């Protein structure tokens, strides 16, 4: 059994804390490695290294920084399958989902390759007599990312791409459940030409998170995880004057109108609800059919589609999804299924007790379907984060739209319809941050930005896109006047020292 170490200053760094966490193979349920958990001193070491490396990297012109990102993109393209296998071995998602994980992160790297253009400021000539005004974007310095287990490649790439391209040094604290891919990303970034120390990976738990938040040299914190922790991170870091983006949980709804193409809609819902075992914040765990006829037809088709789902090990190319990440998470999902039954929802398909021959100790949960779920049920209000689909029936579009609008989470929502007027009204009125129209998982492309409302997102700026560039930079505005030879300064224009 090997130990996964920190990556600091371009090298593997053994732990001095003598604290470790087990890393499992979700397909077998067996421990395959252990990962070091950082002490406060190790976090401080990573910050000191980043502080020393950042000024040289920031001084490099943006075009040269972009060349490093281009080379990193080439390496990722060439080694996609290698990274996908590593990702699946710790997370459990099937290889197709792992490739998707990497590709969506790679799109943000592609966007960040345009950093010479993205950093351009504004210029106003002759704002006053002989006076010009211009602005520039400058890096913050040292920034940190705290990422979850469910996207070990995509979310770190979402953060590190814009941050590093903008001239910052970046410290990543990935999930201890899936720690190997982030280390590999750091190694390949340096192979692409990134100076050692600009990107450091420190594994750990709450101790490491708090050390990053509290350190005065860390100027910004980007976080993705559960809403309770996101809110706590936001409150603690912003109170210390740091810039913060903290993305939380979700309970995304899919509204199905009577005129929807039900066959296509069912294909979309099945993939969105059960893909990656439902372990994604943009999954679609709630479906809201409008009208009894729509509900009955949808239910019948969903049961048939679920019956045809193949659950398998992550290397099974025929499988739609694999195991969940841990035994504890499997138990949590099963407890929510039991809760739904106790609350009076109809359990149409029960995924508890699912086992895979030869992998009986793997962390598998079968596809589960509930009908007649009501909004007052706790199993509806909470994020289950597993392969569980809940049907909440509605009589009208207004009633259906009220469910996601009034829910505590506001990450994503989708509507399935052929009616353009209804879809447009829905998109403008629903109280959710990301909307799909006949698109079940409306994750925006890399040149827009990702972010939810309400308890799904804390902070003013979203992930990636221009919001990502804004988050990792600060704007400086210069007002200049060059007097002609012999001209006296108007003392009213002189800016005093502060």
* Mean pLDDT calculated for residue range 225-233: 97
* Mean pLDDT calculated for residue range 6-10: 97
Q: What is the per-residue pLDDT for 484?
A: 79
CATH number for the segment(s) 2-248+456-478: 3.40.605.10
Q: Are 313 and 472 spatial neighbours (Cβ–Cβ below 8 Å)?
A: no
Nearest CA among 414, 319, 295, 296 for reference residue 367: 319
Q: What is the per-residue pLDDT for 15?
A: 85
**CA 401, 275, 432: angle at the middle one, nearest 5?**
25
Average pLDDT value for the chain = 96
By percentage, how much of the chain surpasses pLDDT 70? 97
Distance between CA atoms of residues 258 and 63, nearest Å: 52
Catalytic residue, from 160, 169, 281, 325: name it: 281
Tokens of 434: 């990301």
Distance between CA atoms of residues 237 and 143, nearest Å: 12
Q: What is the per-residue pLDDT for 1?
A: 79
Look at residue 345 and tell me whether its pLDDT is greater than 80.
yes
Q: Which residues contact 182 (CB under 8 A, 6 or more apart)?
A: 147, 152, 153, 156, 172, 174, 201
- Tens of pLDDT, residues 279-311: 999 999 999 999 999 999 999 999 999 999 999
113 is a catalytic site residue: no
Within 252-401, strands assigned E span 253-256, 286-289, 346-349, 368-371, 388-391
Q: Are 193 and 68 spatial neighbours (Cβ–Cβ below 8 Å)?
A: yes
Which fold does the domain 253-437 belong to in CATH?
Aldehyde Dehydrogenase; Chain A, domain 2 (3.40.309)
Strand 2-4 vs strand 6-8: parallel, antiparallel, or unpaired? unpaired
Nearest CA among 170, 179, 171 for reference residue 152: 179
- Tens of pLDDT, residues 356-395: 999 999 999 999 999 999 999 999 999 999 999 999 999 9
Q: Which residues contact 206 (CB under 8 A, 6 or more apart)?
A: none
- Tens of pLDDT, residues 193-217: 999 999 999 999 999 999 999 999 9
* Mean pLDDT calculated for residue range 140-159: 98
Tell me how crowded residue 419 is: count the other CB atoms within 10 A of its CB.
15
Domains 2-248+456-478 and 253-437 share a fold: no
Look at residue 498 and tell me whether its pLDDT is greater than 80.
no
* Mean pLDDT calculated for residue range 137-156: 98
- Tens of pLDDT, residues 233-251: 999 999 999 999 999 999 9
* Mean pLDDT calculated for residue range 385-409: 98
Q: Are 86 and 105 spatial neighbours (Cβ–Cβ below 8 Å)?
A: no
- The DSSP code sequence of 298-324 is HHHHHHHHHHT--B--TT-TT-SB---
Element (H, E) at 194: none
Cβ density class 5-37: b for 16+ within 10 Å, e for less: bbbbbbeebebeeeebbebbbbbbbeebbbbbb
By percentage, how much of the chain surpasses pLDDT 90? 95
Look at residue 173 and tell me whether its pLDDT is greater than 90.
yes
* Mean pLDDT calculated for residue range 184-192: 98
Tokens of 433: 């941050």
Q: Give the model's confidence band at 398: pLDDT under 50 very low, under 70 low, under 90 confident, else very high.
A: very high
Look at residue 491 and tell me whether its pLDDT is greater than 70.
no
Cβ density class 115-130: b for 16+ within 10 Å, e for less: beebbeeeeeeeeeee
Q: What is the per-residue pLDDT for 490?
A: 57
Nearest CA among 230, 252, 235, 162 for reference residue 433: 252
- Give the 3-state secondary structure of residue 327: helix
- Tens of pLDDT, residues 34-75: 999 999 999 999 999 999 999 999 999 999 999 999 999 999
Look at residue 254 and tell me whether its pLDDT is greater than 70.
yes
Nearest CA among 481, 490, 495, 493 for reference residue 130: 481
Q: How many residues does the chain have?
A: 498
- Extents of the domains making up the chain: 2-248+456-478, 253-437
Strand 2-4 vs strand 453-454: parallel, antiparallel, or unpaired? unpaired
- Tens of pLDDT, residues 97-131: 999 999 999 999 999 999 999 999 999 999 999 99
Distance between CA atoms of residues 378 and 297, nearest Å: 27
Q: Are 242 and 221 spatial neighbours (Cβ–Cβ below 8 Å)?
A: yes
């Amino acid at each position: 059994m090997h130990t996964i170490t920190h990556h600091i200053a371009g090298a593997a760094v053994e732990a001095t804390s003598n604290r470790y966490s087990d890393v499992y193979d979700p397909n077998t349920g067996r421990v395959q490695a252990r990962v070091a958990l950082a002490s406060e001193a190790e976090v401080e070491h990573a910050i000191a290294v980043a502080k020393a490396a950042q000024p040289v990297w920031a001084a490099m012109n943006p075009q040269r920084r972009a060349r490093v990102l281009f080379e990193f993109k080439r390496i990722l393209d060439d080694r996609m399958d290698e990274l996908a296998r590593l990702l699946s071995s710790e997370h459990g998602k099937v290889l197709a989902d792992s490739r998707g994980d990497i590709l969506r992160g790679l799109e943000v790297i592609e966007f960040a390759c345009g950093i010479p253009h993205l950093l351009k400021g504004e210029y106003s000539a002759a704002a006053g007599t002989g006076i010009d005004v211009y602005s520039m974007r400058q890096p913050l310095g040292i920034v940190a990312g705290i990422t979850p287990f469910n996207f070990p490649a995509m979310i770190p790439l979402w953060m590190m791409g814009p941050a590093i391209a903008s001239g910052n040094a970046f410290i990543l604290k990935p999930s201890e459940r899936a720690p190997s891919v982030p280390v590999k990303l750091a190694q390949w970034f340096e192979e692409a030409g990134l100076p050692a120390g600009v990107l450091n990976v420190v594994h750990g738990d709450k101790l490491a998170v708090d050390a990053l938040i509290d350190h005065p040299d860390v100027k910004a914190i980007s976080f993705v995880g559960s809403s309770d922790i996101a809110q706590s991170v936001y409150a603690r870091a912003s109170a210390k004057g740091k810039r913060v983006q903290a993305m939380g949980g979700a309970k995304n709804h899919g509204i199905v109108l009577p005129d929807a193409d039900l066959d296509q809609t069912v294909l979309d819902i099945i993939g969105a609800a059960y893909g990656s075992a439902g372990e994604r914040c943009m999954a679609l765990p709630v479906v809201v059919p409008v009208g009894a006829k729509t509900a009955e037809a949808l239910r019948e088709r969903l049961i048939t589609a679920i019956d045809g789902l193949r659950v398998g090990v992550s290397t099974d190319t025929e499988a739609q999804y694999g195991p969940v990440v841990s035994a504890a998470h499997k138990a949590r999902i099963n407890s929510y299924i039991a809760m739904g039954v106790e609350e009076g929802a109809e359990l149409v398909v029960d995924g508890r007790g699912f086992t895979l021959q030869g992998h009986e100790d793997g962390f598998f949960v079968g596809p589960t379907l509930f009908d007649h779920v009501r909004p007052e049920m706790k199993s509806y209000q909470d994020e289950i984060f597993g392969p569980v689909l809940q049907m909440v029936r509605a009589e009208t579009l207004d009633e259906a739209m009220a469910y996601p609008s009034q829910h505590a989470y506001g990450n994503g929502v989708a509507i399935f319809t052929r009616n353009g007027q209804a879809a447009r009204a829905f998109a403008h009125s629903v109280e959710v941050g990301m909307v799909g129209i006949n698109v079940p998982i409306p994750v925006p492309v890399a040149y827009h930005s990702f972010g939810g409302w309400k308890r799904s997102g804390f902070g003013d700026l979203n992930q990636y896109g221009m919001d990502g560039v804004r988050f990792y930079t600060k704007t400086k505005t210069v007002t200049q006047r060059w007097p002609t030879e012999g001209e006296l300064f108007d003392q009213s224009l002189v800016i005093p020292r502060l």
